[in-house]
Amino acid sequence: MQTSKRNWAMWLSLLVLIGALFLLTSPVPQDTAYYFFADSRTLLSVPNFWNVLSNLPFLFIGIWGIYVILTIARTLDNFELRNAYLVFFIGVFLTAFGSSYFHFKPGDGTLFWDRLPMTIAFSGLFAAVIGEYGSKVTAQRCLPLFLMIGIGSVLYWQWTESIGAGDLRPYAIVQFLPMLAIPAILLMSNGENDIGRYIWLMIAFYVIAKLFEQFDVGVYEGTRGMSGHALKHVFAAVGPALLAVALDKRIPRQASEAFAS
C-alpha cells in the first residue's frame, strides 16, 4: 500500500513538473544549424559518409539484443519484461536505418525517421527499468502509454514544424526524462539487481555520446579524421550492447546453445 502511494506521488510529481515546463517556457523550434556537421565528406557516393556508416553498430547490437530476449523468453516460462526489452532492442535496430537515412539526406523529413526509433527505444528501456526495480505489472501497463507519448512527441514536432511553429519540448521530455528518472529509480531501490551496474554504465556512455555530439567540430579538428557526431553514434551504441551483455548472463548456456542450433 505504501509503495503504491509512493508510485502515485512520483507520477503526479512528474505530471506537475511537465505541466510547469510548458507553462513557463516557450516553444523550441528545431535549430537549422543541426543539419550541418563537421565532417560532411562524401565517400563512395555517400554524403556524410562517416556519420552514416557509424550507425552500423546499432544494427548489429539491435539484432543481438533481440536474439538474447527471444532466447530468454524461450527458456523462461514467465518472462514478464519480454515486450519492454523487445521494444527497446527493436528501437535500437531501427535507429540504424532512421539515423543513416537522416545523415544521408539531412532535413526535417528525414530527421523524423531518425527520432522515431529512438523514442521507441527510450519507451522500452524506461518500462523495463520500472519492471526490474518496481512492478512488472506497472511496466506492462506503462509500455503502450510510453510508446504513444514517445511517438506522439515526434509527430507533434513534425506537425508544428510544418506550420512554421516548431516545438521540440515534448520530444526533449521523452528523450531526457527517462535519463533523469532512471537514476532516481536506481538510487531509491533497496534491492540488488544483476543489471544495475550495466544501466549505470549505459547512462555514462549516453552522457559521453551527447558530449561528443555537442563538440562535433572540436573533435573533428582535434582528431583530423573522425567527427564528434560519428563518435556519438559509436558511444551511444555501447549502452545497448552493455544491456545485451547483462541480459545474456541470465541465459543458461545449454539453453543458448540449443536455441542457436
For the chain, counts of helices (H) and of strands (E)? 11, 0
Whole-angstrom CA distances from 214 to 29, 38, 219 are: 18, 11, 10
Query: Are 119 and 174 spatial neighbours (Cβ–Cβ below 8 Å)?
Result: yes
For residue 97, what pLDDT is reported? Answer: 97
For residue 254, what pLDDT band results from cuts at 50, 70 and 90? Answer: very low
pTM, two decimal places: 0.88
Residue 78: burial class (beta carbons within 10 Å; 0-12, 13-18, 19+)? exposed
Out of 15-19, 224-228, 230-234, the most confident range is 230-234
Residue with cell 510508446: 147
C-alpha R_g of the chain = 19
Would you mind telling me the total number of residues written for the chain in this entry? 261
Do 157 and 25 touch, CB atoms closer than 8 A?
A: no
Encode pLDDT of 121-169 as tens digits: 999 999 999 999 888 998 899 999 999 999 999 999 999 998 888 888 8
Q: What is the pLDDT of residue 213?
A: 93
Domains of the chain (ranges; CATH) run 59-260 (1.20.1070)
Give the mean pLDDT of the chain.
Answer: 87
User: What pLDDT, on a 0 to 100 scale, did the predictor assign at position 91?
Assistant: 97
3-state secondary structure of 136: helix
Question: pLDDT at position 246, please?
Answer: 94
Average pLDDT over residues 42-48: 93
Are 111 and 51 in contact by the 8 Å Cβ rule? The answer is no
Longest dimension (CA), the chain: 61
Name the strand (E) or helix (H) holding 101.
helix 82-104
